[in-house]
Chains A and B, each alone.
Chain A
Amino acid sequence: MRFTRRALLALPPLTLLALRAPFAAAQVSPRQRAPGDTDWRHYANDLASTRYAALDQIDATNFDSLEVAWRFRTDSLGARPDYQLEATPLVVNGVIYSTAGSRRDVVALDAATGELLWIHREDEGERARKAPRQLSGRGVSYWTDGTEERLLYVTIGYRLIALDPRTGQRIPGFGSDGAVDLKTEFDQEIDLIEGDVGLNSTPLVAKDTVVVGAAHTAGNVPKTRDNVRGYVRGYDARTGRRKWIFHTIPRPGEFGYDTWLDGTATIGNAGMWCQISADPALNLAYLGIELPTGDVGGQYRRGPGLFGESIVAVDLDSGERKWHYQLVHHGLWDYDIPCAAMLLDVPVGGRTRQLLAQPTKQGFLYVLDRATGKPIWPIPERKVPKGDVPGEWYAPTQPIPSRPAAYDVQGVSDDDLIDFTSELRAKALALAKNYRRGPLFTPASMFEREGTWGTLTAPNLTGGTNWPGGGADPETGVVYVYSKTVADVMSELPNDDPKRSDFAVINVRGMPDAPRRGDHTYGALTVEGLPLLKPPYGRITAIDLRRGAHLWQVAHGETPDTVRNHPKLKGMTIPKTGRSGNVGPLVTKTLVICGEPGVFTLPDGRRGAMLCAYDKASGEQKGAVYMPAGQTGAPMTYMLDQRQYIVIAIGGGAYSSELVAFRLPAA
């Protein structure tokens, strides 16, 4: 039974009743918290984005005996099934809250049984159809002042909605009837339907402020450099009033404007699409900014360009910049800051430091003092290769952390190429001859049909590490990051279609009439169907922030069928290769838990992806349970009535999305 706004308005007396006696429409039964119950109130459990829960009922001795407690299928939500549920659900006092389905509905479920308690649906029509960030999104956020509670989330059509968790109804006093139109009060005029801005991450809720980022259409050929600006805003959690706005692309007179040699009048993007961390004691939110003017083209924005690819610490109440740190100057590799920085207090060199640890697409963990923005260990500026694409500008240096060491492959050297057999390696070397190569931050190059076809790059433009984020252990100061290892090609071509883009030179990574040399077709970075780079294809790295050093690194993900069964590898014993994808780990008192990002065929013939548990101190795999599809979100965990649950979003390929909950068998 749906208590939609329209239904309520059709019955005026009931409407009054619903507003004045909210329990009349409550779908959530009142519940007394049991001793030991825990909540999960943020995307990564806390404002520090640790994705850590100090629970140990599930441990190395019993992980393999986990059973499915419940599953929530999402097929019937939205106009067609969703296969890419990226949400981490929240749990508050025994109720799960999440976004779900292709219309990004919000659902409340009983956390013990998965029973659906209520659905909230927003039909945004054409505005949703045109939105740059579709599907179910990464979840909802939660606010309380100890008495009142609300859920907050951003719709596909880019509106901030506040819901009553008991009823799923919009809260009338918030914004305009429970909604703030994020395409307004944006310090820029944009079309409410066509304006290229949206979001699928969750808003930050810290104290009484809601911080909302911005995302744009992804892709290496942007329609225009003069796109919507991805300014970041803070709103009052009670009223929805806009408290502040931060210009990620500075205007004349604003700090950072002088880092743009061509000014910023026709410069867009520089959104902030990742999750956000905050330190309430310092009253700071840490924003992770992406590239300006699309993903890779830098021709119209000469200069380092603050605040592209920068961490910006802003005051929660005023939005004023307190410090910033640019990770990539004048970025050309789509190395957006993809996820929240993790905040930990860790003893380093004899005294406790307030750390901020930022995982990235480029495979570095940048570690700064989160009060000042200063690096904990030196991050010297190092010379990087200069490119030769006409009209492009190149930053002469990039900041390169001295420690911790990179946690994934950077640049494509001979040693990074496939080497299962000498025959495969020889083919890889021949393939690589068609491209330029170099260390990290080697730029894209022109596609020359008779010469080199561009630049081979790694990490590619989806990383490394991406949106799910890492996990961190506040007790030990160790952070855990998943990253994938996939090569890419970055080529530049003169643009012959002004309707397609207003860039004079565009980035391509392939073409319909791709040229061929030998058995290599431009853009096909495989050798006999195998990945060009040697495994691991996916890995989890544990980094000890006390020392700025790796603690352990393991391949994460079973060897894909395409490798295991490959005719050229017949009879060989290949160590587990790991699997590439976009996943993030959960950390508990004893375990690091992460699902595999893709399916493989198990020895018993089933296809599935395992939910794996690693000893957090050693990285030794301690258990794995079957899931019918790969992880598409990042897992969370809670105690409810003396039992620990792990809930994870899965789906992909031919398997539509669901939330699946695991727990131990009843004693």
Chain B
Amino acid sequence: MTHPSLRPLLAVALVALPAVALSQAAPRSVWGGVYSAAQVQRGAAVYAASCASCHGDALGGNDQAPALAGSGFLANWNGQTAAALFTRIKTTMPLDNPNSLGAAKVADVEAMILSKNGFPAGTADLPSDPGALGAIAITQDRPGS
């Protein structure tokens, strides 16, 4: 139970957080450790159940489904935001039941895709909110290289 004298501080903190988050929303890229290892595990399970039959166990694709890892995938998505990829997956996939995966599962799968493309893991999960994902750029080149 919160001590009464702490409540105003908490209230201020809760109100302050969004503003803090905004000021820290400087452009990030997928090189900044934008997903967690645990999330990749969850994503791999979703992928195996919902995606692998078309996109392949190694994300290599087939006649009907494109590859999700490798130079072809990156060439198409380089310069887009993580939000664009999220929205594409969420609204159109899986092909036989689009928009059936909830935001959390889509974010988990996206984290797995990013990991398979060689981007590093961090400590926090990839957000499941397109607003936040919009601040993460998919760039093939590590910033500063």
Contact = CB atoms under 8 A, between A and B. Distances in A.
A653 B57 contact: no
Interface residues of B, number: 41
Interface in B46-88: 48, 53-54, 56-65, 69-72, 74-80, 84-85, 87-88
Contact of A561 (B62, B63, B140): B140
A561 B61 CA distance: 21
A524 B78 CA distance: 18
A508 interface: yes
Nearest to B45: A512
Interface in A508-547: 508-512, 514, 522-526, 529-531
Contact of B79 (A79, A83, A561): A561
A551 B63 CA distance: 29
Given A81-B91, A510-B58, A654-B88, A524 B69 contact: yes
Given A83-B92, A219-B53, A486-B72, A653 B140 contact: no
Given A529-B140, A562-B140, A599-B76, A80 B62 contact: no
B75 A526 contact: no
Interface string B81-123: 0001101100110011111000000000000000000100000
A429 to B, nearest CB: 18
B78 A562 contact: yes
A357 B82 CA distance: 44
A514 B76 contact: no
Contacts of A514: 58
B71 A508 contact: no
Contacts of B63: 218, 295, 334, 461-462, 466
Contacts of A299: none
Contact of A80 (B69, B70, B77, B91): B91
A395 to B, nearest CB: 22
A580 B73 CA distance: 11
Contacts of B75: 560-563, 579, 598-600
B145 interface: yes
A461 B77 CA distance: 23
A5 interface: no
Contacts of A83: 88, 92
A462 B53 CA distance: 16
B136 interface: no
B96 to A, nearest CB: 5
Given A134-B95, A531-B71, A560-B75, A509 B54 contact: no
Contacts, number: 120
Contacts of B95: 134-135
B71 A79 contact: no
A509 B58 contact: yes
B60 A523 contact: yes
Given A486-B72, A512-B57, A526-B71, A565 B141 contact: yes
B48 A512 contact: yes
B97 A510 contact: no
Contacts of B141: 565-567
Point out which of A486, A526, A600, A653 has the most chain B C-beta atoms below 10 A from its C-beta. Answer: A653
Nearest to B81: A654
B44 interface: yes
A607 interface: yes
Interface in A98-127: 102
A440 B129 CA distance: 47
A486 to B, nearest CB: 7
A511 B87 CA distance: 26
A80 B96 CA distance: 12
Contacts of A309: none
A526 B58 contact: no
Interface string A581-611: 0000000000000000011110000010000
A129 B77 CA distance: 28
Contacts of A221: 53
A538 B128 CA distance: 36
Contacts of B145: 567
Nearest to A133: B64
A653 B80 contact: yes
A329 to B, nearest CB: 21
Contacts of A510: 56-60
Given A83-B92, A529-B118, A565-B141, A654 B58 contact: no
A602 B91 CA distance: 28
A254 to B, nearest CB: 28
B71 A524 contact: no
Point out which of B60, B79, B140 has the most chain A C-beta atoms below 10 A from its C-beta. Answer: B60
B57 A561 contact: no
A542 to B, nearest CB: 25
A417 B53 CA distance: 29
Contacts of B91: 80-81
B62 A461 contact: yes
Point out which of B71, B72, B92 has the most chain A C-beta atoms below 10 A from its C-beta. Answer: B71
Contacts of B71: 526, 529-531, 560, 562-563
Nearest to B116: A524
Contact of A79 (B48, B53, B70, B98): B98
Interface in A12-56: none
A220 interface: yes
A175 B129 CA distance: 49
A218 B74 contact: no
B83 to A, nearest CB: 9
A601 B140 CA distance: 12
A83 B87 CA distance: 12
Contacts of B65: 218
Given A218-B64, A529-B74, 20 more contacts: A80-B91, A134-B95, A218-B54, A218-B63, A219-B54, A220-B56, A220-B62, A462-B61, A509-B57, A512-B48, A523-B58, A526-B70, A526-B71, A529-B118, A561-B78, A561-B79, A562-B75, A580-B72, A600-B75, A654-B87
Interface of B: 44, 48, 53-54, 56-65, 69-72, 74-80, 84-85, 87-88, 91-92, 95-99, 118, 140-142, 145
- A-B CB proximity, top 4 nearest: A510-B58, A560-B75, A523-B58, A654-B84
30 contacts: A80-B98, A129-B96, A129-B97, A134-B96, A219-B54, A509-B57, A509-B60, A511-B57, A514-B58, A523-B57, A523-B58, A524-B70, A525-B70, A526-B71, A529-B74, A560-B71, A560-B75, A561-B140, A562-B71, A562-B140, A565-B140, A565-B141, A566-B140, A567-B141, A599-B75, A630-B76, A653-B77, A653-B84, A654-B77, A654-B84
